A and B are shown apart, each in its own frame.
Chain A
Amino acid sequence: MLTPISLMKVIAGEGNNRSTPNDKIFLGVIGTGSRGHHLAYLIKEYGHELGMEVTALCDVYQPHLEHTHAMIPEAKVYNDYRRMLDEATELHGVIICTPLHVHAGPTIDSLDRGLHVFCEKAMARTLDDTYAMAEAYYRTGKSLHIGHQRLFDPKFLRGMNKVYNDDLGVVTQIRAYWHRNNDWRRPVPEGQPELERFINWRLYRDYSCGLLTELASHHIQVANWAKKARPVEVRGTGSISFWRDGREVEDNVALIFSYDDGTQFIYDSMIQNRRHGLEVQVLGHKGTLELETNNFFLEEPPPPPKPAGIVQLLQDLEQNVLGKVPIGSSSWDPEIAMTYKGESIVADNNTDGTFEQFYGFAKAIREDKPIPGLFEEGYYASLWTLLGQQAIDTGKAVKMPEKYDISKFNPREFV
């Protein structure tokens, strides 16, 4: 079972069986675009802490491959991931940062070759590909780590501990949003308009479900984690309401995921206003977590510390002398938000968990077995993003078809 404590221990290095200083972990990166380059950079800079090294790079787009190769010149380069898997025999694991529709092939092929896989979220473009990845994971017994970095973010881990310790009371609603104000487009090299769909794959339905697979997937994972459950139903709506530039994915979505116990997870995302940024709020009858901004609020705020006696005396005198005489009162006070500032979940909020994920990946590789429960978090988050898209497309409430239930593979690890 995946508990926040077990992941905290992973980050703290407990149980990370580093037997000899020579037990290096060699990794290949498939897809060296913006995310792949960033992860390769993190491993180059900080991977020595974990004995990790990138020794192979693969991309079908030469400018991206060259950009990352310039950063790690000692790595071998490939244009075909299958060739990389055949030839780079030193590899213990691969990091897959290709576009969503190119996650399943490299993942399954790598697992089948006995490699451990870190694949970026969301898992795949289709339900069947997502399920096929799960099937390969259970079949091979290697780890398949999906890039939902909040699972390794200390503020989310501590926050989840608060949920599990009943500090929030009964959680009946979770709200999350992700707002940006940009067109989400990447520049296409001049004179090569044929690269539009290749570069801006996020905006086209064949390759991506846009805001859902790219952003919402993270918060669905958090909601499932907080509830220790998966939704039973999702309803949603969406539109292309502002960026009418030929894209096929919505720029404005709203969804409600319902859980068995009556909890509602309310999600919205848009890319034409960034006033509220992103947040995920876990609302219980005793308290609230605002995880992205590292805040915890009690429903009954602790009373502020009493001022010194002499100050209270002066305050009373002032009130008696200058105090207002009420001449009437309203029958209703507007129920505006509480002004109490809450408390920080963690004192040092200086990471988003992206690098900490590799602590988990390193542990899984060294022990040659997955971290129990971790994959299932990624699987159901990915699956429910796709079901959310179905709900938007059909205008109907959507449930998960029975065949995608993976508890049959490993009932004990089911979230």
Chain B
Amino acid sequence: MKDIVIKGNRIKAELLMLLYCYIAANLVNVYAIIKYETSWIEIFTWQRFILFIAVLFYVVTIVVRLIVFGFRKGMRKT
């Protein structure tokens, strides 16, 4: 069986992506707090939910990247 090797660069890039997703999720939370005039404390009290949304965003980026990757591969073959 062939070992899958994940390079350090890859891991770094993915962690960076996760961080962007986390920042994006927090920005969405800030937007919601301003829009619905709720309490700023929600920035802290809703962190678990924000983490969940960050992971969701990250999953979305994976799906998008897979689609783009597949699309490019297809283009190269033709």
Chain A residues with CB under 8 Å of chain B are: 306, 308-310, 312-313
Contacts and interface: CB of A to CB of B under 8 A. Distances in A.
A308 B45 CA distance: 10
A112 B44 CA distance: 75
A308 B36 CA distance: 8
B35 A308 contact: no
B49 interface: yes
Nearest to B42: A308
B32 interface: yes
B49 A310 contact: yes
A313 B46 contact: no
A87 B12 CA distance: 101
B46 A310 contact: yes
Contacts of B42: 308-310
Nearest to A313: B32
Given A308-B46, A313-B28, 4 more contacts: A309-B34, A309-B35, A310-B33, A313-B35
Interface string B32-76: 111111100010011001100100000000000000000000000
13 contacts: A306-B36, A308-B45, A308-B46, A309-B36, A309-B37, A310-B28, A310-B29, A310-B53, A312-B32, A312-B35, A312-B38, A313-B28, A313-B36
B36 to A, nearest CB: 4
A239 B55 CA distance: 71
Q: Which of A306, A308, A310, A313 has the most CB of B within 10 A?
A: A310
B20 interface: no
Nearest to B31: A313
B10 to A, nearest CB: 31
A310 to B, nearest CB: 5
Contacts of B50: 310
A161 to B, nearest CB: 34
A312 B32 CA distance: 8
B57 to A, nearest CB: 13
A303 to B, nearest CB: 14
Q: Which 9 A-B pairs have the closest CB atoms?
A: A309-B32, A309-B38, A313-B32, A309-B36, A309-B33, A312-B36, A310-B32, A308-B42, A310-B29
A397 B53 CA distance: 70
A310 B44 CA distance: 12
Contacts of A313: 28, 31-32, 35-36
A7 B6 CA distance: 79
Contacts of A309: 29, 32-38, 42
A310 B53 CA distance: 10
Interface string B2-14: 0000000000000
B52 to A, nearest CB: 10
A413 B44 CA distance: 61
Contacts of A308: 32, 38, 42, 45-46
B1 to A, nearest CB: 43
Nearest to B25: A310
A308 B33 CA distance: 8
Contacts of B36: 306, 309, 312-313
Contacts of B49: 310
Nearest to B30: A309
A341 B36 CA distance: 26
A307 to B, nearest CB: 8
A353 B4 CA distance: 77
A319 to B, nearest CB: 14
A308 B46 CA distance: 8
A313 B34 CA distance: 11
Contacts of B33: 309-310
A244 to B, nearest CB: 65
Contacts of B35: 309, 312-313
A36 B32 CA distance: 66
Contacts of A306: 36, 38
A172 to B, nearest CB: 39
Contacts of B28: 310, 313
B65 to A, nearest CB: 24
A313 B37 CA distance: 11
